[in-house]
Homo-oligomer: A and B are copies of this chain.
Amino acid sequence: MSFNSDGLSHYKKEDIMVTIKQVSALSGVSKSTVSRVIAHNGAVSKKSRKKVDAAILELGYRPNSFARSLKSNKSNIVGIVVVNMGSAFYAEVLGGIQKAFDGSDKHLMVSSGYGDKETEFETISSLIDRQCDGLLLFLESDFSRDEIHKLCNRDIPIVLMGRDGIPYGYNSVQVDNKTGGTVAIMSLIEAGRRKIVHLAGPQNLADARDRLDSFWQAIEQSDINKSHCCVIVGPYTEAFGYQSTKALLAEGVDFDAICAGDDEIAAGVYMALREAGKKIPEDIAVIGYDDNFHARHMYPPLTSVCQPIETLGLQAGKMLVTMMQGEQSANINMVLGATLVERESI
C-alpha cells in the first residue's frame, strides 16, 4: 500500500480488493465456510461464524457481485427503458417503478430510448447483455413480439408499459387512451359546444393517433355537424398550441372549444386566447390532457384528463416482481382508466 504526498492513503486496485480468500486466511477457515456465512445458507458452527464475521469486519470485506452473478446467472438488476428519463412524465413512471422495488435487493438500470427505434433496440440489447433479471419497457416504437423475442434470447421476464392500446402479446400495463380521449371530447359536447377544434399530437405517436380516433368517433356519435370541427396536428409543445390558436383566430375560423392534445398545448392555447381577449370558458372552452401540475395553476384552472402515470409504473413493477419470483402465470394486460378532472375551463 502506498501513500501519496498529502498523507491520504492512495489505493490501487490490487491493494484493496479484499476477497473471500483473505477472509478465509484471516479467520482460519476455508473459503466455502466463509461463503456459507455470507450467504446465510448451509450449516456453520457458531465458532466459525464468529471468526468469519470478525474477519469480514476487520477487512471490510464485501462480496464481488460479478463473481456471484457469473456463478448464479442472476444480476439482481432490473433493466428499464423509458422514452426519456429527463422528462417529468417519465420521472413519474420511474417514481412508481421504484416504489415497487423499494426494499428489495434489486437495482434499477435506467436508460432512455428517445422514441427512436434503433436506440431503443440498442439499449434493450445491452441491458440484456448485462443479464438483467427482468425488463420494464416504455417504448415509443411499435416493436413486434418477434422483434423483442429475437432480442431477448434468454427467457427474461418482460413487462411493457404504454399509453397506447396495442396488445403486444406480452404482459403489459397501459393507460386507456381511447377512453380518455372520448371522455375529453364528451365533456365538451355535453357542455353544449358544437364547433370543436382538436389540436392533436404528432401522429407517429400511438397515443396521439388513438386520441384523434376517439375524437372523430365521438363527434360522429353526437349530433354535431362534422364540418364545423377540425383538426390540426403538431408537436406536444406550448408553441404549437399558441401558434395554431393564433392562426385559427387570424383566419376567422368559427369555433367554441379547443380540445388540446396535452396540457402543454393547452398552455399555449391559453396564451393566444388571452392575447386575443377571448374569455375562457365563456367564449372558448378548453380541455387538456395529462393533468400536469401546471393545469390547476393556470387561470382559469384547466380541465384535463388525468392519467395514472405513477400507478402505471408501480403496477408494471409489481407485475415484474411476480414474474421474476415464480412461474409466469397468465398473460396479463392491465389497462388503467383515465379520469376527467373537472375544473373551470369548460
Interface residues of A (CB under 8 A from B): 10-13, 16-18, 60, 62-67, 69-70, 73, 75, 77, 84-88, 90-92, 94-96, 98-99, 107-112, 125-131, 153-155, 267, 270, 292-294, 297-299, 310
Residue ID in chain B nearest A73 by CB atoms: B13
Residue pair B107, A130 in contact (C-beta under 8 Å): yes
Neighbour of A155 across the interface among B16, B99, B310, CB < 8 A: B16
Residue pair A66, B60 in contact (C-beta under 8 Å): no
CA distance A95 to B90 in the complex (A): 11
Complex copy number for this chain: 2
Residue ID in chain B nearest A151 by CB atoms: B60
Which 6 A/B pairs are nearest by Cβ-Cβ distance?
Answer: A86-B95, A299-B299, A294-B294, A91-B91, A88-B88, A66-B70
Residue pair B154, A16 in contact (C-beta under 8 Å): yes
CA distance A31 to B128 in the complex (A): 23
Q: Could you tell me the distance in whole angstroms from the C-beta of A258 to the nearest C-beta in chain B?
A: 16
CA distance A69 to B128 in the complex (A): 15
Given A130-B107, A131-B65, A154-B11, the answer on whether A86 and B297 have CB atoms closer than 8 Å is: no
Q: List chain B residues, Cβ under 8 A from A128.
A: 62
Q: List chain B residues, Cβ under 8 A from A126.
A: 107
Given A17-B154, A86-B94, A91-B91, the answer on whether A108 and B107 have CB atoms closer than 8 Å is: no
Given A293-B292, A294-B294, the answer on whether A129 and B65 have CB atoms closer than 8 Å is: yes
Residue ID in chain B nearest A68 by CB atoms: B66
Given A16-B155, A62-B125, A126-B107, the answer on whether A86 and B75 have CB atoms closer than 8 Å is: no
Residue pair A66, B131 in contact (C-beta under 8 Å): yes
